[in-house]
Every structure is written in structure tokens, then in C-alpha cells.
Structure 1
């Protein structure tokens, strides 16, 4: 499930980029495209799809020997935009892994793009979790998620969303 605009935009510009052997394609996904959590399966699936599209396109460009076309994959942790307001990891862990400020994510992403970095994960612990997910058995990852509170981090967000929807329905009934 890749956002169709990303595919259409890429298809529109890629032929000229290949012809000129020049350009830079940036895919903004999420850490939830590298590892998932309960309650937002559709969101995670779309981010997994964006990462898969990015990786496949990277291989295609490398196979065409076009070294002038750069690619950067951006995978931030929770960004404080209000989109997932209420999302919470374990309270003892949260001071060490707070939501990221949008300005910080932009700065880190731009630095990665300008230095032709293939991938940027913020904070850096996302790299470690992704590596651990690749090495450890699934049950060990489940234990780690539970320890961090990441297994149910979206539940408060989903409860707030449900309450808001119920309140809106009640107002419509009046």
C-alpha cells in the first residue's frame, strides 16, 4: 500500500532523471514502516509499502548504473504533530524517547539529503531496534515491545479517537 501520489510523482520525474543521470528521490516513511505496533495496522502497512517501494526503486536505479540519482529514506519515530496525540510508551521510558519536534526531523532529513545519506532514522535507537528485529526471534521482540510499552502505545490514542467520534455522533443525534 504505497501512497499513489508518491508512485505517480516518481513515474513522472524518473524518466528524465534517468536520461540526465541526475536527481534525488526522497521517501518519507516512519519507524512504523520498519517495525509495527497494535492498533494502527493500516498505517503500518502503508509505511511498510512505502519502504518496499523505495528499496525496490533503489535496486532498479543501481541496476541501471545511474550513479547520479540519489535516494534517501526518512524514518522518524513519533513526531509531535498531533496526528497521533495520546500515543504513549511506558512512562519510565518516555523521558528518554519523547516525541520528536517537527523542526528537528526536518533538520535531520535535510542533512541526510544534502549529504546523500541513503537512510535516516531519528532518533538513532530506531536503527538498533530495526537491527534487533532482524536478528532476534519474534518472541524476544514482543518482550522488548512490552518492556518499552510499544506494544500498546497507540491504545490511548485510539481511545481518545473513539471517544471523540462517539461525542460527534451524540451531537448529531441532538
Structure 2
């Protein structure tokens, strides 16, 4: 066994707070800015934020086979964008492309991709660049809603594939498309997370942990981009409540407040993107409620969760093998499947 290089001992001298007077001044300015920002936020409750023009921009959306992804493609097309629809299931994607092009002729092209595979994502980039040009808005939407708790005996392959689709795909998409945005110093990355990224969800710790990871990834990425004082690349994290995308999903969860429609969700996502919102929920007020619950005593939080109970049923693959999403988790469906 090779020797491991030893670390130097801790510094012996006592560490001191750097420039305490300057820190006090900075904190004073911060509180003044906080007060002004709160007034501006209250103002925009009644007066909407200005929305940037995205006419003619290239928008790449993953997971466009149905649900939020399909509605996003339609909504961005309505705003005058050129839409690239990326989906692992070609038949569903063909339906989306037909619907979008009927709505806005020649506004949409489709691509088959396995977002959990870096090679597949790189191939997607070459195709989109060749067909439509540089991507202005990247929407990482692809995901699989599936119950799954560490308290149950889940196949490790299911855990691995769930993580690939719901989190690793965001890394691959950002890693692949961000360098070109940096070169142009222009672009917007939108990641679809979940309200479970702010508040835990029973029987869904695997799904939820991926959504929490997305928020951490994007917050850190935004800080890295801010190291360039001239940065113009925007990032947004969207945290929707339960969305009624299909009976397959709706039958797998229990929630007291009714689900959102995919159409309403897509409209709010496009609006938040055009407003350059950094993180927001759908409905908007849920984000602030969830943040407030973080600072109250735990027994009050537990009581709140009991009142607004939400739970996802545990995954039972043997009963759902006919669903494509579960075939993906089981490793039976990939970008080469026809």
C-alpha cells in the first residue's frame, strides 16, 4: 500500500475577523437594500414584472412527449420561438411536433434523446445546432415521477435510472449546452424541479432528493456565472405543485389540494422565464409558504404537513411494466427503441 501524503498541521496563530468596520458598513447597506427590495416586491404583487421579448429565439425542451413538456412547446411557439423538442419516445414526440406545427406552422422540430446518456446529449447538440442554430433557452424538463423509499427493497437499477433521468440529465444538458452560451455570453437555463425540492414528500425520497439536488446545482451554477461581472446568462428553477399530466401519475399520489393543469403550469413557466425569475413555485405563493415553514418549530411544521398531506405511493414495477416511464426505469427503453 502506497504512503498517503500527510497534511500540514493546523495554523497555530489565532484567526481574526477581516475588516470588521467594512463588514458593518456592508451589512448596513444590505439592510437598506433589503427594505427597498421588499417594497419593490410588494409593488409587483399588483403590477407584473416586465417580460423580455423571446421572439425568434431557439428553445430546446426535454421531455416533450406529453404533459408539461408538450404544453411548453406549444406556449413557446406561440411566443414566436423556434422549438426543439427532445424526447426518448419518438411516437409521443411526433404527436407533440404535429400539434405545435399546426398551432404555429414550421415552428418545431423533434429529436430523440436519452437525457441520462452524455453521448446521446452530445449527439442532440450537433443536430440542433445544425438544424436551428445556437440554443437561447434550455429547458430541462424531462423527469419521471415515481415513488421510491429507502425503507423498501428497490432494485438498485431502478434507483440508478431514476437518478439519471431526474438529476444527472440536468448535469449533462448544462455541461453540453452551457459552454456555447458562455462563449456568446447569452442564454437562459430553466430547470424544472418540484415543490418537493423545498418540502419533503412521503414515499418519494429518491425522487425528492433529485429535485433538491437540482436546486443546489442551479444555485451553485448561478454563483459561478456571477463571478463574471459582465455575465448575461440567466438561470431559473421552477418548483411546480402536483401536475395532472396523466392518470398514470395522478393515481400514484394522494394530495389534499387539487393538482394543476399542465397548460396552466406551462404558461406560468414561460412567464417566469420571461421575467428572469431565479426560483419560483407554481402557484407562486407556495414557495413563500414553504420557506416560512422552515423557520417555525418542528411540531408546527409536522402539523402543517398533516393538514396538507401529500404522499406518493411506493413504486411497484411488476404492476406497471406496460408504462413507458417504468420501462425506462427498468432499463428496457432507450433512445434506440423504435
Question: Which bracket does the TM-score occupy, shorter chain normalised?
Answer: 0.7 to 0.9
Residues 25-174 of structure 1 mapped to structure 2, 5 A cutoff: 25-82=189-246, 83-89=249-255, 94=256, 97-150=257-310, 153-154=311-312, 157-158=313-314, 162=316, 165=318
Aligned residue for 2:260, secondary structure, equals: coil
Any runs of at least 4 consecutive aligned residues in structure 1 with deviations exceeding 6 A, and if so which? none
> Counting helix residues as a fraction of each chain, which structure ranks higher?
1
CA deviation profile, 1:56-88 (whole Å, cap 9, x unmatched): 101111122243101111110000013242422
Relative contact order: is structure 1 or structure 2 higher (C-alpha 8 Å, sep ≥ 6)? 1
**Cα offset, 1:32, TM superposition:** 0.6
Give the Cα–Cα distance (whole angstroms) in 2 for the partners of residues 66 and 13 of structure 1. 19
Aligned length in residues = 155
**Cα offset, 1:122, TM superposition:** 0.7
The alignment's TM-score, normalised by the length of structure 1, stands at 0.79
Q: Is the 8 A contact 2:198 2:291 kept in 1?
A: no
Aligned residue for 1:44, secondary structure, equals: helix
Are residues 1:9 and 2:173 paired?
yes
Give the Cα–Cα distance (whole angstroms) in 2 for the partners of residues 127 and 49 of structure 1. 17
Give the Cα–Cα distance (whole angstroms) in 1 for the partners of residues 282 and 181 of structure 2. 28
Aligned residue for 1:98, secondary structure, equals: coil
Give the Cα–Cα distance (whole angstroms) in 2 for the partners of residues 7 and 167 of structure 1. 28
Q: Is the 8 A contact 1:29 1:76 kept in 2?
A: yes
Q: Is the 8 A contact 1:18 1:66 kept in 2?
A: no
Could you say if the C-alpha distance between residues 4 and 149 of structure 1 is closer, same or farther in structure 2, counting changes exceeding 3 Å? closer
